[in-house]
Chain A
């Protein structure tokens, strides 16, 4: 007769099946290694980057970076200042073309078209890949005209009624309509910081882009305005691919489904946000997110 539950005896318990530490464990990846850790490929890619190198004159800002960004995915880029995350973000809609001495090598394909091909027109590209900046930058025009500007210059809509409907829809999707519907003719700059940023997002989505790039969109906003933008990001992710650069790791953890960590121009680790923030694989990622940097 056994006086101990059978499952508790050492001979029958599954725990005795000689469990071993994971391989590779966090400590087995060399801290000096710059090889990207994590799965770069994704099932339904919208943007495919292969061996991207970016130079500012003689200085190399991005080193041999490859990554795929999924359709309707929110991916955040994190890393210390100067690690190349904003530079890489700007390569995705050729904003770096405006910087003298900037040179991009490699391939970035959006919907199977290399955006660095010579025949690529950057105007429709930047409509397709919209951008929201760190500081809200509404045009010195009315709230209405800020949103209507894009569709007008791209010739998307000519009819006034259709334009009214598009402005309303864009402002609604940006969560701003109820706050501004009675003062559409007031200057965009009269709004609060958070409202201005949402106006910029409304302006971006009014031309129906496929990808939205956000470069620290909440760094100039208070926590309430930040929460509204984050809620907006989660709603917009139903329709758009969103790439967000942020210095707030908690924000990256809250809004994105995948996170990529950059360090000194290298993509160090990419993976599911849940994994990155609970057990990152690369020691440099661990150091950065736990505040052991420097």
Chain B
């Protein structure tokens, strides 16, 4: 179910909202690219690529500031209500999650660089398999949320909300597998800790995606489905 809205009588306001919309898409695109590049760095054993990902974070931060300014200006000038207000509030919350995903990816990239440090031996591909699998799940989830935002797809948001969260189970199973490896070969303990940190960061990214999806439902429908057991 796609939600369709008429244009505003004020085309200038439409332009301001479209600008905000595009900024969010750009920022999401940057974060998706960061995540995909960091996974590629891991898969291809390319620490240089991870360094580029870290540098890209500045662009993500700049977008957060731009979006904050746009939100601030629209609120001050337009006094939006109803669906416009919900969109603006949701966007201002979603960018926080996007920025935090960017920060987690920076952490992941730093860990990737230390994994492929010159002084250490090449990590076991089996150890990396879990991360890449989990990372791809998160990347897909982020792409889906971005698409739902772009196309105002309420049904899609609900479908994603009600889906099983494979990445949580993957995280749990991954930890078990890594523990089995370390029992077999205790010398990989320090590397295992790095991998666990990467997995934890990816899990956090998944949680942020989920938050963003919940804000989308609020934006489309005005229904706050977060913290169902609260208050």
Contacts and interface: CB of A to CB of B under 8 A. Distances in A.
A3 B172 CA distance: 6
A277 B225 contact: no
A16 B162 contact: yes
Is chain A's interface secondary structure helix, strand, loop, or mixed overall? Answer: loop
A8 interface: yes
A18 B8 contact: no
Contacts of B80: 290
B168 A290 contact: no
B13 interface: yes
Nearest to A17: B228
A76 to B, nearest CB: 14
A291 B164 CA distance: 40
A278 B81 contact: yes
Contact of A289 (B82, B161, B172, B225): B82
A290 B229 contact: no
Interface stretch (B33-41, B83-91, B118-126, B134-142): B83-91
A292 B171 contact: no
Tier of interface size on chain A: 20 to 34
Interface in B102-137: none
Contacts of A25: 1, 154, 221
A4 B168 contact: yes
B15 interface: no
B9 to A, nearest CB: 5
A118 interface: no
Nearest to B157: A21
Contacts of B183: none
B9 A294 contact: yes
Interface string B1-21: 101111111100100000000
Contact of B158 (A10, A19, A291, A294): A19
Given A291-B10, A292-B6, A292-B9, A280 B172 contact: no
Interface of B: 1, 3-10, 13, 79-86, 154-155, 158, 161-162, 164-165, 168-169, 171-172, 175-176, 203, 207, 221-223, 225, 228-229
Q: Which 10 A-B pairs have the closest CB atoms?
A: A279-B222, A10-B165, A292-B6, A3-B175, A10-B164, A277-B81, A14-B228, A291-B8, A290-B84, A4-B172
